[in-house]
Amino acid sequence: MASVKYQVYRYRWVAILAYCLVWFIAQPIWLAFAPISSTVRQAFFLTGVSETAITLLVIISLIAEIIVSIPIGVLVDKRGWVFCTGAGAILTTFVGIVRVFSPDINWLLLFQFLQGVAMAFIFVSLTKAAVNWFPSGERALAQGLGMFANNLGMVVGLIVTPLLISMFGEYAPRTSLQNALLVYGFVAAIITVVFFVIAREAPELPPEPWEETKPVPLREGLSRIAGSRDYWLLASAFFLGFGVYIFLTDFIERIAWSNAPLIQKLIELYITMYAPQYSFIFIRLEQTTGGLVSGVITLTGSVGMLLIPWFSDRVQRRKPFLLALPIVCIPMVYLLGTQSGNVLLISAAIFGFFLLALAPVLFETMVELKAVGPMLAGLGLGIMLTIGHLGSAVLPLVGGVFQEASFSYIIAELFYNHVILASYMSSVFANPVYYYLIAPPPLIQMPGTFFGAAVFFTILMAIIPILAAFVRETGKAVREK
């Protein structure tokens, strides 16, 4: 009787759980500043904080991933996913604890850069972990589970962080910020220990026979990927999709604040002028709203990342999902950039469910390309993440240019510099200790600030299904046919 050369192990669920725990905690440590940008600005008011620095707190981690994802992809193929994910877990714990003591915004930016390196170690390992433990009929689901953990961590970062700030006292922004960050650092330390206890690189036997079992030399691997048209179509789609998603995640607090009802904007203006010590109420309200919208996107996206990859595995088809998912998201991007209230929340739910479910299907499509395959899963994902993170770093900056070029933003800045600050300084002279140390200058956002950005990113979303239309189907059902 011939010996069995492959087997599917039940421990595969424990292995992917170990990965998911690390990927989960990395997200709130990275994304904690996105829903509390006003608190960060106030916490470091004395040392100076620009709008660009606030934006870079999220984007600089993605820049780090652009730099290191390809070398880490090579390392994943050589040393394995446990080694690289473990390195990311250790670095995440270090960043989560040490950055609490940052004296100014520049130190926070440095630690955010290191966190980007940590996330690259973790993210690039995802496909390799799925390939090592799961058969092709479950790999999209396995990667969906990894992305589910990623999004669940984002939900924590976007919803729980403002709540922690409120719990520790939003009237003392520096102290409340430090305490909130420290909570995440301690959780990361616990998860890192658990990971090294339960993680295993691969089972004794592979989950299914592979067409290619020997390591591929780096030069050959790069040549194969460089010559694959389908790979670059997928990478271009990921560039656009990830950039749109990060823009909305990073700017959602400011977008929600800008699109608030007119009556609220008038009340804000009155409080800003005549009772600036109470302006934190509106900041807290918009942080909560922004966190809620971002949380809805990532929460529904988490559900989509489980259901849609599972269905794609069942029917063993990829291309129909690559086409349909972004098409649904096109009008949602516009609504997210221009609406408020229930329309904003409903748009966020639909956008999250369909767009975020696209990632695991796209990654599995990449692995199924003949140019990539299981032996180049790390390098293939590393290059794709480099391209995707390039989009996530560049496109939000373009969105910021649209914001600052808008008529509403220019008027708001002129009013802030020449009216609000003058009124605020008169309060400082009357009570310097209270206002200068406890109640920093109030902030404002004018309606219509993000209309141009909304149109621009809607057009980018419409390009994704056009790219997907030219990708060849890779599912098992098509190969058998």
Among 405-419, 422-436, 456-470, which range has the highest average pLDDT?
456-470
CA dist 36 and 294 (Å) reads: 12
**pTM, to two decimals:** 0.78
Residue 317 per-residue DSSP state: -
pLDDT digits (tens, 9 = 90+) for 3-38: 558 888 899 999 999 999 999 999 999 988 877 777
Higher pLDDT, 424 or 311: 311
Reported as a pLDDT band with limits 50, 70 and 90, residue 347 is very high
Indicate the class that CATH gives domain 12-198+218-476. Answer: mainly alpha
Q: Are 135 and 355 in contact (CB under 8 A)?
A: no
Mean pLDDT for 165-187 is 82
CA dist 68 and 120 (Å) reads: 7
Q: Are 84 and 125 in contact (CB under 8 A)?
A: yes
CA dist 285 and 290 (Å) reads: 9
Mean pLDDT for 94-101 is 92
- Please tell me the predicted confidence (pLDDT) of residue 40: 80
Measured from the Cβ of residue 418, the count of other Cβ atoms closer than 10 Å reads 9
- Please tell me the predicted confidence (pLDDT) of residue 63: 86
The yes-or-no verdict on residue 77 having pLDDT over 60 is: yes
The CA-based angle 440-444-450, given to 5 degrees, is 140
Intra-chain end-to-end CA distance of the chain, in Å: 30
Burial class (CB in 10 A: 0-12, 13-18, 19+), 355: buried
- Please tell me the predicted confidence (pLDDT) of residue 2: 47
CA dist 310 and 308 (Å) reads: 5
CA dist 166 and 180 (Å) reads: 10
Q: Are 128 and 80 in contact (CB under 8 A)?
A: yes
% of residues, the chain, pLDDT over 90: 38
Backbone angles phi, psi at 193, to 5 degrees: -65, -45
- Please tell me the predicted confidence (pLDDT) of residue 276: 61
- Please tell me the predicted confidence (pLDDT) of residue 57: 85
Token pair belonging to 139: 């790999």
Q: pLDDT averaged over the chain?
A: 83
List Cβ neighbours of 112 (8 Å cut-off, separation of 6 or more). Answer: 30, 33, 56, 57, 58, 60, 61, 99
Reported as a pLDDT band with limits 50, 70 and 90, residue 207 is confident
- Please tell me the predicted confidence (pLDDT) of residue 125: 93
pLDDT digits (tens, 9 = 90+) for 49-63: 776 777 788 788 888
Among 194-198, 339-343, 371-375, 475-479, which range has the highest average pLDDT?
194-198
Mean pLDDT for 217-238 is 91
- Please tell me the predicted confidence (pLDDT) of residue 405: 73
pLDDT digits (tens, 9 = 90+) for 256-283: 777 766 666 667 666 666 666 666 556 6
The CA-based angle 208-209-210, given to 5 degrees, is 115
- Please tell me the predicted confidence (pLDDT) of residue 443: 57
The yes-or-no verdict on residue 134 having pLDDT over 80 is: yes
